[in-house]
C-alpha cells in the first residue's frame, strides 16, 4: 500500500472521529439543558394580552373632534378672556368682538350679542362677573342655533326630489354621495341625476359615488342641457319606483346671473314633472369660506328659494362660527353638517348636540350656563 493512500485513510478516520466526538458533546450538552422528565418544565412567559380597543367614539365625541378647531378659535379664546380676574368693561368687550369676528360669527350678529352684554352690564351697575358674560353668550348662541334646526323633508308619495346647489369646491358631489348612502342604508331606492353637464369630471365623480351607494345614475354627455337630464331622471325615478331622486347641478359662482337663471329653469322642470318638487333645495357651503358663505346663501336664496343649507368641512376649519351668522342673518335652516370624511360624518344638524360639542357641556365639560338676568 502506497504512502499516499495510508495518509488519506488516516485523515479520513481522524475526521470521522472528530465528527462523532462533536456529536456526543452536543448530545450531553442538550441533556444537561433539558429538565428531567419527573421535574415540571419551567413555565413559559404568558403571551401578552392585547390591549383592549378603545371604545368607539359616540356621536358627541365625533362632533367634538370635528369642531375642535372652531372651539379653539372661539370658545377657548373667549374662556381665556373671561377669567375670574377679568374686568367686564368696554375694553374687554372689544377683545370679545375681535375673537368672535375672527371665528366668522359675523359683524351684525356679534354686534347684537355684545349689545346684549351691555344691557346686562347696565342691569348690574355694581359690576358683572365674567362667568355671567360667558353664560349669556352661550345661552344666546344656543338660542340662535336652536332657531336654525331643521329636518329633511319627507313625502307621502315618492319620489322625494332633492336639488343640490352650490359653488365649485364646496363638497357638493361628496355630499350627494353620502346622502345617497344614508338613504340606501334606510332601505330606500335612490337615483342620482347628473345635471352638472358643464364638467365631464363631475359626471364621472357622481357615477363613482353612485356605485358606492348602490344608486343608479341618470346621465347624458358633457354639454347636454341640464334641464333635459332632470326631465329624464324624474321620468326614470317615477317609472322605476325610486324613493329618492337627488339632482346634482353645476357648481357655479353665485355672482354669475346666467348660470343662476339656468338653475331656475331646472327647478321649473322639476315642478312640472312632480308637483311640489323639488321638495328640498339644499345649498352646500364650505365652512372655510366664512362670511362669503352668507353672501352665497343670500344670492342662491333669491334665485331658487333655499329650503336648507348643508355646511361641510367643519372639521377642517376654525371658522365654524359662521353657522351662527348664517342662521341669525338669513333665517335659513341648517339641515346637515359635515364633520369628517366618513360616510356617517354627514349628519343632521341638532342644535343641542352642536352646542354641547362646542362648549363641552357633557361629562368633563363646563356645565350648563347660569341664567342671565332678564
Torsion angles phi and psi, residue 342, rounded to 5: -70, 155
Which ranges in the chain are annotated with CATH 3.40.50.300? Answer: 160-350
- pLDDT of 20 reads 44
Using alpha carbons only, give the angle 94, 96, 100 rounded to the nearest 5 degrees. 120
Torsion angles phi and psi, residue 162, rounded to 5: -115, 125
- pLDDT of 255 reads 64
Burial environment of residue 129 by CB neighbours within 10 A (0 to 12, 13 to 18, 19 or more): middle
Per-residue pLDDT at 280 exceeds 70: yes
Mean pLDDT score, 273-289? 94
- Confidence band for 4, pLDDT divided at 50, 70 and 90: low
- Confidence band for 289, pLDDT divided at 50, 70 and 90: confident
Mean pLDDT score, 257-267? 85
Looking at domain 59-147, does it have CATH number 1.20.120.140? yes
The secondary structure element, H or E, covering residue 162 is: strand 160-165
Please, what CATH class does the domain formed by 160-350 belong to? alpha beta
- pLDDT of 238 reads 96
Contact 328, 113 (CB under 8 A): no
pTM for the whole structure: 0.78
Q: Mean pLDDT lowest for which of 113-117, 219-223, 345-349?
A: 219-223
- Cα separation values, 71 from 10, 46, 242, 323, Å: 90, 46, 41, 13
Per-residue pLDDT at 3 exceeds 80: no
- Confidence band for 252, pLDDT divided at 50, 70 and 90: low
- pLDDT of 32 reads 40
Mean pLDDT score, 103-110? 92
Give Cβ neighbours of residue 70 (< 8 Å, ≥ 6 apart): 103, 314, 317, 318, 319, 320, 321, 358
Provide the 3-class DSSP secondary structure of residue 225: coil
Mean pLDDT score, 94-123? 94
- pLDDT of 29 reads 43
The total of other beta-carbon atoms located within 10 Å of residue 25's CB is 10
Per-residue pLDDT at 132 exceeds 50: yes
- pLDDT of 57 reads 58
- pLDDT of 8 reads 47
- CA dist 263 and 256 (Å) reads 11
**CB-facing half-sphere around the CA of 129: CA atoms within 13 A:** 8
What tens digit of pLDDT does each residue of 301-343 get? Answer: 988 999 999 999 998 888 889 999 999 999 999 999 999 888 8
Which ranges in the chain are annotated with CATH 1.20.120.140? Answer: 59-147
Using alpha carbons only, give the angle 176, 181, 183 rounded to the nearest 5 degrees. 95
- pLDDT of 362 reads 45
- CA dist 192 and 169 (Å) reads 19
What tens digit of pLDDT does each residue of 48-101 get? Answer: 333 333 333 577 788 888 899 999 999 999 999 998 888 999 999 999 999 999
From the list 219, 255, 223, the residue with the least C-alpha distance to 236 is 219
Three cell numbers, residue 211: 356605485
% pLDDT > 70, the chain: 79
- Cα separation values, 215 from 190, 206, 228, Å: 5, 10, 20
Average confidence score pLDDT of the chain: 82
More confident residue, 154 or 21: 154
Per-residue pLDDT at 214 exceeds 80: yes
- pLDDT of 296 reads 87
First to last CA, the chain: 127
Amino acid at each position: 500500500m502506497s504512502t499516499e493512500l495510508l495518509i488519506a485513510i488516516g485523515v479520513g478516520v481522524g475526521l470521522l472521529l472528530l465528527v462523532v466526538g462533536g456529536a456526543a458533546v452536543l448530545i450531553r450538552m442538550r441533556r444537561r439543558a433539558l429538565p428531567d422528565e419527573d421535574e415540571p418544565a419551567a413555565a413559559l412567559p404568558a403571551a401578552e394580552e392585547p390591549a383592549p380597543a378603545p371604545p368607539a367614539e359616540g356621536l358627541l365625541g365625533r362632533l367634538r373632534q370635528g369642531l375642535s378647531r372652531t372651539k379653539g378659535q372661539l370658545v377657548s379664546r373667549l374662556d381665556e378672556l373671561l377669567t375670574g380676574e377679568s374686568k367686564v368693561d368696554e375694553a374687554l368687550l372689544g377683545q370679545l368682538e375681535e375673537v368672535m369676528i375672527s371665528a366668522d360669527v359675523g359683524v351684525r350678529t356679534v354686534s347684537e350679542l355684545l349689545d346684549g352684554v351691555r344691557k346686562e352690564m347696565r342691569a348690574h351697575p355694581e359690576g358683572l362677573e365674567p362667568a355671567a358674560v360667558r353664560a349669556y353668550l352661550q345661552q344666546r348662541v344656543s338660542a340662535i342655533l336652536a332657531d336654525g334646526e331643521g329636518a329633511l323633508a319627507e313625502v307621502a308619495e315618492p319620489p322625494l326630489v332633492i336639488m343640490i346647489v352650490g359653488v365649485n369646491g364646496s363638497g357638493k358631489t361628496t355630499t350627494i354621495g353620502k346622502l345617497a348612502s344614508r338613504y340606501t342604508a334606510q332601505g330606500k331606492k335612490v337615483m342620482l341625476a347628473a345635471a352638472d353637464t358643464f364638467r365631464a369630471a363631475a359626471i364621472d365623480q357622481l357615477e363613482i359615488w353612485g356605485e358606492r351607494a348602490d344608486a343608479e345614475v341618470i346621465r347624458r354627455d358633457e354639454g347636454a342641457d341640464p334641464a333635459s337630464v332632470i326631465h329624464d331622471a324624474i321620468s326614470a325615478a317615477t317609472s322605476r319606483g325610486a324613493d329618492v331622486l337627488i339632482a346634482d347641478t353645476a357648481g357655479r359662482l353665485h355672482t354669475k346671473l346666467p348660470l343662476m337663471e339656468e338653475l331656475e329653469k331646472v327647478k321649473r322642470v322639476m315642478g312640472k314633472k312632480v308637483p311640489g318638487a323639488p321638495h328640498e333645495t339644499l345649498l352646500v357651503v364650505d365652512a372655510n369660506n366664512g362670511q362669503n358663505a352668507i353672501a352665497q346663501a343670500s344670492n342662491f336664496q333669491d334665485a331658487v328659494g333655499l329650503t336648507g343649507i348643508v355646511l361641510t368641512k367643519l372639521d377642517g376649519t376654525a371658522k365654524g362660527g359662521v353657522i351662527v351668522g348664517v342662521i341669525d342673518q338669513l333665517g335659513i335652516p341648517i339641515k346637515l353638517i359635515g364633520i369628517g370624511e366618513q360616510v356617517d360624518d354627514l349628519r343632521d344638524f341638532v342644535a343641542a348636540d352642536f352646542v354641547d360639542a362646542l362648549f363641552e357641556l357633557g361629562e368633563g365639560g363646563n356645565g350648563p350656563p347660569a341664567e342671565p338676568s332678564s
